[in-house]
């Protein structure tokens, strides 16, 4: 089992793109384990983006991600789920992201790239713990259409 932490960033929420982006994830067949709208605190943002501390874009990134509500969600699935979600999200810079990806279809600039997705199963676990208490995550459940998505 793998977990990916996904964030629909302030620009996605403000632009009314929660529905279209969640639809893509649902239609692909992914299973949501937890989902909520939050106002990210500076502490949460710094913890989440700790690896980027000291980079030129860091302070702008923290301002951006805390500037309006975000939707945080956890997607679970078999091995490879994290990589699959990253492929759906597309390259960091939307200007270079392939058409058909979320960033490639909805964005234009790196500083407004709409969505975050964990880049490894380890980060999926680490990032999930920043935003969700264990009781906020649904345990074992299967979508009714599971057998029509999985062999």
Kindly state the smallest distance separating residue 36's Cβ from ligand IDP, in Å.
20
- Among positions 34-93, residues that touch ligand IDP (CB under 6 A) are 52, 57, 60-61, 92
Q: Which two tokens stand for residue 119?
A: 């880049």
Kindly state the smallest distance separating residue 118's Cβ from Mg ion, in Å.
8
Kindly state the smallest distance separating residue 9's Cβ from Mg ion, in Å.
12
In contact, 38 and 135? CB cutoff 8 Å: no
Catalytic-residue membership of 116: yes
- Among positions 60-119, residues that touch Mg ion (CB under 5 A) are 119
In contact, 7 and 41? CB cutoff 8 Å: no
Three-state SS annotation for 92-126: CCCCCCCECEHHHHHCCCHHHCCEEECCCHHHHHH
- Provide the terminal-to-terminal Cα distance of the chain, rounded to the nearest Å: 16
- Among positions 120-149, residues that touch ligand IDP (CB under 6 A) are none
Would you tell me which residues interact with ligand IDP (CB under 6 A)? Answer: 52, 57, 60-61, 92, 110-111, 113, 116, 119
The catalytic residues are 116
């Amino acid at each position: 089992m793998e977990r990916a932490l996904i964030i629909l960033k302030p620009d996605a929420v403000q632009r009314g793109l929660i529905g279209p982006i969640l639809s893509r994830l649902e239609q692909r067949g992914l299973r949501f384990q937890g989902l909520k709208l939050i106002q990210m605190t500076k502490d949460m943002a710094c913890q989440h983006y700790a690896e980027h501390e000291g980079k030129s874009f860091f302070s702008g990134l923290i301002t951006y991600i805390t500037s309006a509500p975000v939707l945080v969600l956890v997607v679970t699935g078999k091995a490879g789920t994290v990589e699959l979600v990253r492929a759906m999200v597309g390259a960091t810079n939307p200007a270079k992201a392939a058409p058909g990806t979320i960033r490639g279809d909805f964005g234009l600039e790196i500083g407004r790239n709409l969505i975050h997705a964990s880049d490894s199963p380890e980060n999926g676990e680490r990032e999930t713990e920043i935003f969700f208490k264990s009781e906020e995550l649904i345990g074992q459940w299967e979508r009714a259409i599971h057998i029509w998505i999985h062999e």
